[in-house]
Structure 1
Amino acid sequence: MRTSSGLWAGVALISLVHAGTAYAQTAPTQSEEQAAPQGDDEIVVTGTSIRGVAPPASPSVQLDREDILRSGAATSTEIARTLPQVVNIGADESRRGGAQDAAANRTRTSGINLRGLSNEATLLLLNGRRLAPNGTIRALADPAMIPAIALERLEIVPDGASAIYGADAVAGVVNMITRRPFNGAEVQLRYGGADGLDQMQGSALFSRKWGSGGFLAAYDYYFRSNLRAIDRDFTSADLRSIGGTDQRSTQSAPGNILIGNTRYPLPNGDGRGLTAGQLVAGTPNHFDQGLWGDLLPEQERHSVFASAFQEVTDRLTLTYEGFYSRRTFTEDVQPPGSNLTVPRSNPFFVHATNPAAANVTVEYRFIDAQRDATWSGHDIGWQNTLGLRYDLGGAWQLNAYAALNRNRGRAKTDDLLNTLTLPRALADSNPATAFNPFGNGAVANNNPAVLASIAGYRDSFTVNDGRDFVAKIDGPLFGIGGGDVRVAIGAEYHENELEYTIYSTLKNLANDLILDRQRTKSRNNKAVFGELNIPLFSSANATGGFQELTVQLAGRYEEYSDFGDTFNPKIGITWTPIDSLRLRGSWGTSFRAPSLIDSSDAIFNVFIQNLVDNGVTKRGIFMNGGRNDLSPETAKTWSVGADFKPGFLSGFSASVTYYNIKYSNLIDALAAATILSSDGLYSDYVIRNPTVAQVEALLNSPNLENVREPAANMLLIVDGRRDNIGELHQDGIDIQLDQRIDTGIGAFNVGFYLTQILNAERSSAPGVPFRNALNLINFPVDTRIRGNLGWSDGRWSTNLFWNHVGDYTNNLITPNQQVRAYNTFDASIGYKFPDQGALNGLRITLSAQNLFDRDPPDVINGTQAWDGQNASPIGRFVALDLRKSF
């Protein structure tokens, strides 16, 4: 099914009449929370464990339900990515390579990456609770597991928060706050499309509330078709039109005979009866890998969320919360290619210059054996949480919960070659059973049984189990001039188990399913934590220059079963000298424990591939996977900021935050292009001109993923396995300006949100000089902007959003390429029907993302002409959303 982009464009232009509403950039105040409809009286404020206090001194960003509806986003992940602090580097469904070990994202998870520090440095919470990690060879958190219809808001604290939440909150916290029980129901139908892409979504929510309790249940179905590479005009690997070189592969069908550095293209035929006289050195045959396969996989997801509470007595309340999500994906990929060593015994053997040669090298693409090469799999996650809340008296309260969660990931790759049977088929002297690599890739050129025997696959499974037990008490200690000094004290016990299994046909002559590798790993950690809120000044004792002054202290001690202990403190101060100005500052330390996948050396792969080194393409070996000797990451973060809401300018608000991060012992698995192009930053991970012994050790590894090639062909070894790769220093500024103007014809809103990274420097090891890690490909871009303009009269609402990603340098090539800034516009127009009649509660929204269908900027990026980390391949995407409340 295809969408007419011209028709969608005409319809979407209606939304340019007016535009956008603003983000609410701070967490709600106590009074705002209590004014909102609540299913019970529990108040969730991200960044603190103490009830009844104002938001903490750390910067915070909120997207409420109206922001979610107006964004035009379909999933929780897409909603979060509308914020400039969320950088699309690392794991994403749209790529199989890039920075921060994106290639390891085999289940096509889409995570959140605050500040560009990594997906795993961002802690994802559901109502303040942890989730089990997703993925097979990555430990990621996917917000899309939770139905978007169940979300009340997203609260984001882009600041270190390990003192509150423990590990992983280095870059910050994303907390998904769900809707509270109420009396009603809601259904949603949504269809969206772009050229070559379709999206469908159906959701339902039902909730009931009674005097002593209530429940809420939500279901979401989501389907998105695949996006084929050939449906976009910027995907060819021939980059000459944008100033690059022809990066199409010479491993093709028909292929090329390679003698030294000279190629002899094979003729377009069945490869039988060739003679040396038919082979002439010249322009090689090519395979355009950029036009083959999918840019986006097909995705289908079913998700369920439920919550309930019941007051058992006047003091005791029991709670339940749980979800289940199953996502499947299928992705067409390019068939594998290889430099084949064909022995003279092969009945189709031909040599261009030496008929008596013992063997010949043929560059070949296995279109015949892998015509339908795919990656596929699933990600299944669930969590069940039982909790209790007990009023101890005197405004003290006990909260405790037990959470059990599991995530099961599967990734099957059908684009592999059987490294045992292929060499045997090439050496076979029987024309009926030998493999013929001299033809044009037609299936008829080879025996179907032979083709089946050389096609291999790998099926990997990961099970992540988590058990979390938490208890805390909080309440007032004593009163001082500004109010009650309040405290929270608690303890937590957490267990995590990993089981990793690979089934593979790569070493089985009969292609039977065999157990290749299986590993299990586990850890537990214990924690105690505490917080103190000290209101020195408030409205109760305000005086000149001190309308409010609050000190917030927090600390958390954790002990791990496998790498030791850690203590992380945090201090925050908020000061309101006048009613319209709030100043804030915070300092703290954070850490990230290496995930069980990171620290498992069983998950280790060896690839033979072309590598670009100083602009020269070389045949080499690339390794990725885990290491068992990793250390925890640590960070020191601090921020200062101000919130300004003047009384003399109605509807205006401004917020500015300066942040500073010193991030040590970073765990990362670097892409080969990043290692080879980073001006010596990662020279320790490269061996140029390796010895035969070094190459043979890897070629003999059971983890070799390719058909073996002569050791003499390997000109370098690149080690991309996860490691503690040094230290990162980053600082920057977040600015937000909002203006609301009420008029007789409705309310107008103007907003501007800027994230500006001032500096980012990286050192690969202690004592190694820091080098720039900003405004370079595979690193964050310094400037990101989200602007908005909107109007609403209570029934109609129209919105326009401006998205800006600044320019940066592509240093993968010499001379370096300057990549232009990327500007796109999103728009929406909505109508809410009156509160009476059959259409009561119906809301219709038409939205368009990338309204003017801007292609990504030209980037000479290996074999690609664009950079998927800073631009989307989708183009104009238009969606119609229908919602009905009952």
Structure 2
Amino acid sequence: MQHWVSGPTGRRSRGARRRPGRAFDGPLRKSKSISREGAHIMSRNLKVGGSLIALIVATSSFATTADAQGSAAAAAAAPAQLEEVVVTGSSIRGVAPVGSNLVSVGQEAITKTAATSVTELVNTVPAITTAGSTPQGQSAYSYYAPQIHSLAGSGSNTTLALVDGLRMPGGGLQYAQTDPNIVPTSALQRVEVLADGASSIYGSDAVAGVVNFITRKTFNGLQVNGRAGSADHYKSYDLNAIWGKTWDTGGFYIAGQYLSQDQLANKLRPFLSQGDYRSVGGSNTNQFTCSPATIRTPASGSNVYLSPSATTTIPGTAANGPCNTSIYGTAIPGVEREGVMAVFTNDFSDKLSVTGKFIYNRLQTFASGLPGALNNITVYGPGSGKGGQINPFFMAPAGEPGATQETVSYLALNSANDYGTDNYENNTVYLTGVADYKLTNDWSMTFSNAMAWSNSVQRQRNVFCSTCAVLDLNGTSQSNGSTTTSAVPGQNIVALNLPLTTANALDVWGNRTSDAVLKQLYVNNTQTQHLNIFYQTKFEVQGKLFDLPAGAVRMAAGAEYMWVKQNVDAVSPNNTSNTSLGARYFVSNLGPRKVKSGYVEFLFPLISEGMGVPFVQALDVNISGRIDNYSDFGSTKNPKIAANWQVNDWIKLRGNYAKSFVAPPLNQVGDPSQGYLRGATGTNASTQIAVPFALYPEVRNVPGCQTVTGPTCTVGGTLNPGLDRSLGAGFAGVVPQTGDSWSVGVDFSPPFIPGLVANVTYWANTFTGGVASPAQPLIINSAALHNRLTICPSGCTPEQVRVFTNVDNGATVGATLPPTVYFMINRDVGNVLNLDVQGIDAMFSYRIPTDALGTFTLGGSLTYFTKFDQDFGDAPFSVLNTSGYNSQFPSIQTKARGQVGWQKGPVAVDVFANYTGKYHNWINTSILPVLSDASGNPIGGGDPVKADLTFDVHASYEFEGDLLNGSQVYIDVKNLFDKDPPFYNGNTTGVGVGAWGFNGFTSNALGRLMSVGFRAAF
């Protein structure tokens, strides 16, 4: 079984071996084995076996890892049959990355996870941030790109995802991060994970490490794979196939995949749609948006009549919300994905080899729309003196029959339960070409090129038109009923629907609304489109410089050029009516960004086995460095030094230090021609926020706060409104985010315990200047962000508002900014996040072959954080073993995965245990308050969240013989005991649309998923 690694440009063997009886391996071709020096180096570097992270991933199939170890030993014993290899994390062929952790997981391990996508595969790795989460739908903060060691998210993409060592285009609508799922699973040869800083080789984004998805070089024959899965009210289907033909000097294959996964509505899982969670120690998430409407009058103040027939009021606090609106949400969107990949490779001579690749992938996600909600809309009744604004259906509450004005909150239900759709579509075209030319016996050069287009579109069809509903309630587009306020900022456009009659008014108190009015409530259509265009070309030379007593000094050097551009086009309502009558258009052209880079890498073998140095069988040192020059923010330099110390045949010590960086994403920088907008508007009316008197004494003088007796005053309501701004990072002069990393580790496979392989690594990463838009609670409670909130007790001046909104430079504002502004909160994207994270990765794999009972495998892998400090430019504080304080990534201390397997002949059974340790919920909705120090930084408290332990089972039967040789059938069960996720009092959007009651970053909402599948080889 071949698991050997591919490298920075995806170049692999020119002489792949064919396994007897397998139609899907590469052809017998002209042998081009690596040199004697390369064989010696690779034998020495790979003798102990895979690295820590390799074996973490390989807990998906510990038998696979053990077989790979055996293959390594066999290869070392027969160097004449060795394949030429290039390793992820190194530009030098034939050499494993020195000092680093590397994973190489092949087809057998992929099969044992029954993965339908690479997201599902990498989510089995404890070191991946989203390990254990639902492998369906976009991550709200990283698209589909994996993140190693929870090292930030969003614009701070600290993990670089590659396909065959080459970059992919950005995708999605948020941070332009990659989607490696564009590779059909049938074309995937293996996955390599490098969990160390690697900007010295790859440039931007490789702070936490690299995940490289390696595709097959060649394929001969036909293989068809299918899987059908079922959970409660959920179905999934996957069909993928690959066909190929090889010849003496090369080959061609084409692979395709179709994947369909149902959406999961909140109402289908009680833990997602309970609404009032107080019985399980949570919050009441029910709302006052009800049908019929709930009512407030000037006399009732903040107290609420629950219906027009109510004779008494109740306090309008969150705990009293009567209506469960969560039953209408979608926790996980449905998915359809179709893709095709074609690969051609050929050796045109003993010196020249060329490989070309084409990928087309189409992704759709879909979710049902939600019933529209209105909050605190002013309506007028008889006796109000409002003339044509009087709603003919007006009903005063029974407890206050003389009321002539009220504010209503309403949920716009309809009998058809049809509230439109929210769909997402991505189309990606990806082309690569790689040419290798052998200059001499010791030197070669490589030219590679990649180009791609990724077009992402979010469409809402026939969704709620809130402006239409307000027009039908009070005759204006304004929630306060103003007939003079412009609906469009900066223009004198007043939208009116006067006079209100029974034909054009909305009845929120009963069911007297006309069919025409009801129909036009769900007519809004919106669209947002992001087009990412990407081009990269690279030239590299490498070979042997000279000989030292321990071996050859080798070097690789290269130059790169990258060109990136992003276009944004959005259509949304302009607050005059529905989009067919009044629309707002936002167009932004970001870039192009031009990047010129150069890099060099040296390998120094300092001590070899033949030199007879005590306790040093081998000592190798690797030094690399890279310079990147960006057209929009200048240059950055990143070195790395690493070493391997082979103590003896079964113990290897390793370590490295690296500096890395992340270039600010284009769409986070914003459009400078439009005041650095990164969306249709830069400033809007703020939501309500709780401001502590201790941190902001001036808030005591804001209207509504003078008589408050508690520690905080809530501002942002009708009495004390404010502004919220979120402009791109270019407005604040963003610079690259930087990282420093180091790790030390030991790999060992003791000969006195045959079959045992184990690894331990202690790693540390510091990350400075992470690009993010800080959430309002972080600004309010963090001393370093204190100046992002401005309090104006007497109202902010027009000059303050003008400067804050940045309208002079082209920025735009929301439709209905308050006439008097009492606070302004600045959530501009900037270099705000600093992290200091350390931890331990550990694993063991024990393979026990027996003559009579077959082969048993035991194994376990663990990621354990020992430190997780962060700051925003002031004193650091710990968020270790918490989730929720950072909305973009968790910092849970312990994740682990274990396996027990058995195989005899064609039958194999594997049981996996997935564990997430207990932690504390530090989201701002936790029941137990998060405790803070005098600076507002958290020091403890929060809700305890229980540990999560689930079990998976995979059983397979592989056919032997001439007809079905290599074909397989299997049964796979995820979450065998159908265990609900631990209760989490909050709403995360780590997967899907998100829902209250579970942590989407770490928990799977599907429940028990049973699948049957087959692999037919012809």
Aligned twin of 1:112: 146
Equivalent-residue separation in structure 2 for 1:845 and 1:26 (angstroms): 21
Distance 1:263 1:456, change over 3 A: same
Aligned partner of 1:67 in structure 2 is 109
Q: Per-residue displacement from partner, 1:668-718 (whole Å, max 9, x unpaired)?
A: 234556666x6767555556787754898799999777x858678x98765
RMSD: 3.4
Give 1:824-843 correspondences, 5 Å limit: 824-836=950-962, 838-843=963-968
Name 2:590's counterpart in structure 1.
521
Of residues 397-406 and 252-261 in structure 1, the stretch that sits farther from structure 2 once superposed is 252-261
Aligned-partner SS, 1:164: helix
Alignment CA distance shift 1:364-1:437 (3 Å):
farther
Aligned to 1:348: 393
What residue identity is the alignment partner of 2:439? L
> Aligned runs of 1:485-884 on 2, under 5 Å?
485-507=553-575, 509=577, 511-512=579-580, 514=583, 516-522=585-591, 523-541=593-611, 543-600=613-670, 601-604=676-679, 606=684, 609=687, 626-628=728-730, 629-672=733-776, 683-686=786-789, 692-693=795-796, 708=816, 719-744=826-851, 745-765=853-873, 768-778=874-884, 779-811=890-922, 812=924, 813=926, 814-815=928-929, 816-836=942-962, 838-861=963-986, 864-884=996-1016
Give the equivalent residue in structure 2 for 1:331: 367
Distance (Å, rounded) in 1 between the aligned partners of 2:437 and 2:754? 43
State the match for 2:408 in structure 1. Answer: 362
User: Contact conserved, 1:638 with 1:659, CA < 8 A, in 2?
Assistant: yes
- Whether the 8 Å CA contact 2:137–2:335 is kept in 1: the answer is no
CA distance in 2 between partners of 1:542 and 1:217 (Å): 52
Asked whether 1:188 is paired with 2:261, we answer no
Give the superposition deviation at 1:59: 1.4
Distance 1:32 1:298, change over 3 A: farther
Q: Which amino acid aligns with 2:637?
A: F
SS of the residue aligned with 2:201? helix
CA-CA distance at 1:791 after TM superposition: 0.8
Check conservation: 1:19, 1:800, Cα contact below 8 A. no
Q: How many Å apart are 1:382 and its aligned residue?
A: 1.9
Quote the offset at 1:503 in angstroms: 1.4
The answer as to whether partners of 2:119 and 2:135 remain within 8 angstroms in 1 is no
Quote the offset at 1:371 in angstroms: 4.0
Could you tell me whether the CA contact under 8 Å between 2:899 and 2:913 is conserved in 1?
Answer: yes
Partner of 1:239: 277
Label 1:540 to 1:445 Cα distance change in 2 as closer, same or farther (>3 A). Answer: farther
If the length of structure 1 is used for normalisation, what is the TM-score?
0.88
Sort the Cα spacing of 1:794 and 1:45 in 2 relative to 1 into closer, same or farther, 3 A: farther
Q: Which secondary structure does the structure 2 equivalent of 1:578 belong to?
A: coil
Return the letter of the residue paired with 1:518. V
Which stretches in structure 2 are left out of the alignment for 5+ residues? Answer: 1-58, 381-385, 476-497, 671-675, 693-711, 718-722, 885-889, 930-941, 988-994
- Could you tell me how far 1:420 is from its partner in structure 2? 5.2
- Tell me if 1:206 matches 2:338: no
The Cα of 1:217 is off from its aligned counterpart by 1.6
1:57-456 equivalences under 5 Å are: 57-88=99-130, 103=140, 109-119=143-153, 120-235=157-272, 236-259=274-297, 260-267=301-308, 280-282=312-314, 286-339=322-375, 340-343=377-380, 344=386, 345=389, 346-352=391-397, 359-368=405-414, 371-414=418-461, 418=465, 421-425=468-472, 426-427=474-475, 428-439=498-509, 445-449=513-517, 451-452=519-520, 455-456=523-524
SS in 2 for 1:873: coil
User: 2-side partners of 1:557 and 1:710: how far apart?
Assistant: 49
Q: Is the 8 A contact 1:20 1:827 kept in 2?
A: no
Larger radius of gyration: 2
Q: 1:19 to 1:726 in 2, by over 3 A?
A: closer
1:473-488 matched pairs, under 5 angstroms: 473-488=541-556
Contact 1:187 1:883 in 2 (8 A): yes
| Whole-Å separation in 2 of the counterparts to 1:122 and 1:607 | 35
Question: Could you tell me how far apart the structure 2 residues matched to 1:87 and 1:608 are?
Answer: 31
Deviations 1:27-73 (A, max 9, x none): 9898778999x999652311001112233211122322211111132
Conservation of the 8 A alpha-carbon contact between 1:76 and 1:143 = yes
How many angstroms apart in 1 are the aligned matches of 2:133 and 2:539?
33
The one-letter amino acid of 1:257's match is I
Distance 1:542 1:221, change over 3 A: farther
Q: 1:746 to 1:280 in 2, by over 3 A?
A: same
Q: Distance in 2 between matches of 1:223 and 1:35?
A: 46
Counterpart of 2:331, as a letter, is L
* AA aligned opposite 1:281: T
CA 1:682/1:758 → structure 2, altered by over 3 Å: closer, same or farther? farther
Note closer, same or farther for the CA distance 1:618–1:865 as it changes in structure 2 (3 Å cut): farther
For 1:128 and 1:881, how far apart are their aligned partners in 2? 31
Q: Is the Cα contact below 8 Å between 1:214 and 1:309 reproduced in 2?
A: yes
Counterpart amino acid of residue 410 in structure 2: Y
Q: Residues 446, 78 of structure 1: CA spacing in aligned structure 2 closer, same or farther, 3 A cutoff?
A: same
Deviation at 1:136, TM superposition (A): 1.5
2:81, 2:504 → 1: CA distance? 70
Residue by residue over 1:816-840, the C-alpha shift from the partner in whole angstroms, topping out at 9 and shown as x without a partner, is 211111111111001101133x333
Query: What is the CA deviation profile of residues 702-747 of structure 1, one whole-angstrom value per residue up to 9, with x for unaligned ones?
Result: 9777x858678x9876554432113110001100111111111211
1:298-344 Cα distance to aligned partner (Å, 9 max, x none): 11000112222112222112210121110011112432323212245
Q: Per-residue displacement from partner, 1:783-824 (whole Å, max 9, x unpaired)? A: 111111101123111101111111111233334211111111
Deviation string, structure 1 residues 552-605 (Cα, Å, up to 9, x no partner): 010000100000100000000001121110010000100000111111132235
Higher strand share: 1
CA shift in 2, pair 1:192/1:657, >3 Å: same
Aligned residues: 844
Moved more, 344-353 or 72-81: 344-353
The alpha-carbon distance between structure 1 residues 35 and 289, as it changes in their structure 2 partners (threshold 3 A), is farther
Offset, 1:639: 0.5
In 2, Cα distance between equivalents of 1:431 and 1:635 = 64
Q: Using the TM superposition, name which of 283-292 and 696-705 deviates more.
A: 696-705
Amino acid across the alignment from 1:81? N
| Deviation of the 1:538 alpha carbon | 3.0
Using structure 2 for the length normalisation, give the TM-score. 0.77
**Within 2, Cα distance between the matches of 1:32 and 1:141?**
37
Distance (whole Å) between structure 2 residues aligned to residue 91 and residue 564 of structure 1: 38
Alpha-carbon distance in 2 for matches of 1:771, 1:679: 10
Preserved CA contact (<8 Å) 1:661 1:729: yes
Q: Greater CA deviation, 329-338 or 166-175?
A: 329-338
Are 1:834 and 1:841, in contact at CA under 8 Å, matched by a contact in 2? yes
CA distance in 2 between partners of 1:461 and 1:640 (Å): 45
Distance 1:412 1:651, change over 3 A: same
Residues 58/787 of structure 1: CA separation in 2 closer, same or farther (3 Å cut): same
1:158-188 CA distance string (max 9 Å, x none)? 1111001000011110000112213222100
Percent identity at matched positions?
A: 28
Distance (whole Å) between structure 1 residues aligned to residue 746 and residue 335 of structure 2: 42
User: CA–CA distance in 1 between the matches of 2:405 and 2:68?
Assistant: 70
Residues 74-106 of structure 1 show CA distances to partners (whole Å, capped at 9, x for unaligned) of 21111011000001299988789xxxxx6567x
Letter in 2 for 1:762: Q
Q: Distance in 2 between matches of 1:371 and 1:347?
A: 27
Seen in structure 2, the aligned counterparts of structure 1 residues 21 and 618 have a Cα distance that, compared at 3 Å, is farther
